[in-house]
Structures are given as C-alpha cells and as structure tokens.
Amino acid sequence: MVRRARAPRFQLHFTPTHSSWTNQVERRFAELERRCLERGVFCSPDDLKAALEEWIKVWNDEARPFTWTKTADQICRYCSRVSEPDH
C-alpha cells in the first residue's frame, strides 16, 4: 500500500539575505547587545527581563527618524569597492 504525504504543516518563505527588514532586525539586535547586554550582569531571568524592558522603554522614548549621511552613489561606490576580490 502506498501512503500519500499529508499536506505540509508549515510553508517556507525564502527571503533574500539582504532584504531591508532583515537588516533592520539585525541592526536592532546589535543595538540591544551593545547598549544593554554587553556589559550587563544579570543574576536571574527577572533581572534580564527588567533590563530589557527598561532598554525598550528608553529606546522608544528617545525615538527619532534615521537620517542618511551618505548619498546613494557613495553607498554604491563603497559596496562595489568592498565586494572586489582583493578586499
């Protein structure tokens, strides 16, 4: 008897590694690590949770729009330069 495969429970969606939302998530975690976790000492999960909640509150209270400091041409030239084989 041949069994038929069930419909998959999960559907995978592949996202390019350089998608902007992925970069934003990575950037946010980098800021979290640098500003909250890197030098922190947490003796319990509750201490860690409190530190994270405080950091998120400060982050949101001090929110401001991101301002680009380079033009698109400058960014493209940089990307071309660092993607060369000898770099």
Q: Which of 64, 62, 35, 69 shows the shortest CA–CA distance to 51?
A: 35
Tell me how far CA of residue 51 lies from CA of 26, 27, 29, 31, 61, in angstroms: 20, 19, 14, 14, 15
Q: Looking at residue 63, what is its pLDDT?
A: 87
pTM attached to this predicted model: 0.51
CB 36 within 8 A of CB 52: yes
Q: Looking at residue 6, what is its pLDDT?
A: 67
| C-alpha–C-alpha distance, residues 46 and 49, integer Å | 5
Residuewise pLDDT in 10s, the chain (87 residues): 555 566 667 777 776 666 677 788 888 899 899 988 998 999 999 999 999 999 999 989 998 887 878 888 888 888 888 777 765
| C-alpha–C-alpha distance, residues 59 and 35, integer Å | 10
